[in-house]
Structure 1
Amino acid sequence: MERAELASLLTPDGMALLDELAGQDTAGDIVATVTRLRKAGHDPDLVAAALTQSRLRARARVKFGEFAERMLFTQAGLEQATRIRAAAMHAGRYLASNLSRVADLGCGIGGDAMAMAAMQIAVTAVEADEVTAAIATHNLAPFASAHVVRGRAEDTDLSDVDAVFFDPARRTSGHAETTRITDPADYSPHLDTVFEVARRMPTGIKLGPGFDRDLIPDDMEAQWVSVDGSVVELMLWSGSLARDGITRAALVLSDDGSPELTAAADSADEPVRDLGAVLYEPDGAVIRARLIGDLARQLEAGPISEGIAYLTSDAHTATPFATAFRVVERLPLDEKVLRRWVKGNDIGTLEIKKRGVDIDPAAFRKRLNPRGTASATLVLTRVAGRHTALVVERV
């Protein structure tokens, strides 16, 4: 989004047009919608900007729910923004630590700052980009305890706050068509700055879930967060925000609650065991946190093969930290054998999961040619070191 586009949206006409589009399906015939709005006398540039915001708001519902209906976004800002449930978890930790004045350095569109302000935390939201800072100002306008400052995180005076939140930019600069930055050395602000602040003040640092574990400081708590089955972030916590005796955590957020698996360090693995009646697929947060061994001991289970993150046991134990499957049949991982099995069992809908084998599930499914009426799930993996296909059913 360019400065002129945002300026047009922030006018009474722009806000009115956004409200009008909120009650309409703009995903249909775009040409007809544009024509209708122009005939109604709306400026073409304003129409284009409003339609873009309408589409971004629709996408943002996944992260922000009903709050998305009054927010403004850039494409890049939305892609890096924290989901509202995770942001509430972040804010709750500051509140529980009695930290009431927080600087959100690199606030983006203001998602985390909104959650903090909603909990009556006085938050100073700092953003270097002019357009993004203006959007954050709009999004934070309903909250008296929040204010936005345009500036660089590195230059921010922290003497008036008692804690800091960082969400370093992990995408190339710009508001649309940005790409993910893969080298942490290119994050903004630089990680040296982030970790220096974290050594002297209570700090929360939001990073991508695939962040290099070797770069995690030994004295910080590392918490991987999964939302509805997808690992969305790694949070590092320092000072009073870090919990005593915990350096590894896997938090699983879903409609059923927010259970968490924690440990003082990476957990030791259980020995490989024979394939049992039940197969467990640990949540990605558990895998990232390297707490599979602790989960295995909870389930009285063990890995099906060395280095494979599937667990097995003889009996099912319910857990929020893994998806459980009943093992129906064990087959060799041989394309001809599996094609015959698919045809012989009249399989038409075939889910393929894989771990530890070099196979493209989509291409492999196509070669198996499922055309029947039944459905099935195949797990392609290694069992006791041997390539194997498991026919499974969700428990």
Structure 2
Amino acid sequence: MKIAPGVAQADLRAIDAEAEFVSLNGELKECVLWFGAARTAARRATVLPAGETLFADRPQDLGPIAPVGAVLYDPDPAVARAGLVHDLADRLGAGPIDATVHLLTADRHAHTPFATAFAVDHAAPFHAKLLREYLRQRQVGRVTVIKRGSPADADDLVRKLKLDGPHHRTVFLTRADGAHAVIVGRRFE
């Protein structure tokens, strides 16, 4: 049975079915409920077009918070919605950067279809002026801003940065170990 992927987790717990969350090109598309003999796990994340699946009968609990390392993983929305971020962390040898956001970190890159990986150039407490100076010194002229748990206005920040240069970076406005943080990185291809 197909249902909207925004279904409440409490509603899913009340149903004796496997919930499979499906994404296409990083966009969450649907939730499929599998009943009876068709049920093979409690939660499943399927990412398309890779056709890969991650599943667990009982999703793992949050591991210890890790300081931001050399690699940052942004889990696919199907993985996050299925509650399998910590299972993915275990698979990657990674740890969460904060208890409130779905971002993982590790010291070494491991390819996975279940997350987008970034090489971390810079991680620090969030200060717009210091970020602007950091980016200008490295001739960064374009940024892609990704918000995860930050109250900062991404569009306002981009306007205030007033960047000019040939390079591009991804800027995460997030939380790390309970504090507002900024992480600057380059996507692994």
TM > 0.5 fold call = yes
Indicate if the aligned counterparts of 2:169 and 2:184 stay in contact, CA closer than 8 A: yes
Which secondary structure state, in structure 1, belongs to the residue aligned with residue 65 of structure 2? coil
Match of 1:290 in 2: 83
Equivalent in 19, 38, 45 of residue 250 of structure 1: 45
Match of 2:6 in 1: 210
Runs of 4+ in 1 over 4 A off after TM superposition: none
Indicate if the aligned counterparts of 2:143 and 2:171 stay in contact, CA closer than 8 A: yes
Which has more helix, going by share of residues? Answer: 1
Match of 1:354 in 2: 147
- Bigger Rg over Cα: 1
Match of 1:324 in 2: 117
Indicate if the aligned counterparts of 2:171 and 2:184 stay in contact, CA closer than 8 A: yes
- Normalization by structure 2: what TM-score? 0.92
Unaligned runs of 5+ in 1: 1-203
Match of 1:236 in 2: 33
Structure-2 separation of matches of 1:391 and 1:274: 15
1:385 aligns with 2:181: no
Indicate if the aligned counterparts of 2:68 and 2:123 stay in contact, CA closer than 8 A: no
Which has more strand, going by share of residues? Answer: 2
Equivalent in 39, 50, 66 of residue 273 of structure 1: 66
Q: Which amino acid aligns with 2:58?
A: A
- Per-residue deviation at 1:328? 0.9
Cα shift readout 1:165-188 (whole Å, capped 9, x = no counterpart): xxxxxxxxxxxxxxxxxxxxxxxx
Structure-2 separation of matches of 1:394 and 1:343: 19
- Per-residue deviation at 1:378? 1.0
Between stretches 291-300 and 260-269, larger displacement belongs to 260-269
CA RMSD of aligned residues (A): 1.5
Match of 1:342 in 2: 135
Match of 1:220 in 2: 17
- Normalization by structure 1: what TM-score? 0.45
- Per-residue deviation at 1:212? 0.9
Match of 2:165 in 1: 372
Structure-2 separation of matches of 1:237 and 1:211: 15
- Per-residue deviation at 1:390? 1.2
Indicate if the aligned counterparts of 2:73 and 2:115 stay in contact, CA closer than 8 A: yes
Structure-2 separation of matches of 1:321 and 1:357: 23
State the number of aligned residues.
187
Which secondary structure state, in structure 2, belongs to the residue aligned with residue 270 of structure 1? coil
Structure-1 separation of matches of 2:8 and 2:58: 16
- Per-residue deviation at 1:350? 0.9
Higher normalized contact order (CA 8 Å, seq sep 6+, divided by chain length): 2
Match of 1:303 in 2: 96
Structure-2 separation of matches of 1:347 and 1:301: 28
- Per-residue deviation at 1:311? 0.6
Structure-2 separation of matches of 1:229 and 1:247: 22
Unaligned runs of 5+ in 2: none
Structure-2 separation of matches of 1:287 and 1:252: 12
- Per-residue deviation at 1:383? 1.5
Cα shift readout 1:263-287 (whole Å, capped 9, x = no counterpart): 1133222111122111111111110
- Per-residue deviation at 1:297? 0.7
Matches for 1:87-166 after TM superposition, within 5 Å: none
Structure-1 separation of matches of 2:80 and 2:53: 13
**Percent sequence identity over aligned pairs:** 38
Match of 2:57 in 1: 264
Which secondary structure state, in structure 1, belongs to the residue aligned with residue 113 of structure 2? coil
Indicate if the aligned counterparts of 2:150 and 2:174 stay in contact, CA closer than 8 A: yes
Which secondary structure state, in structure 1, belongs to the residue aligned with residue 72 of structure 2? strand
- Per-residue deviation at 1:362? 2.1
Which secondary structure state, in structure 1, belongs to the residue aligned with residue 171 of structure 2? strand
Match of 1:65 in 2: none
- Per-residue deviation at 1:218? 3.4
Q: Which amino acid aligns with 1:249?
A: R
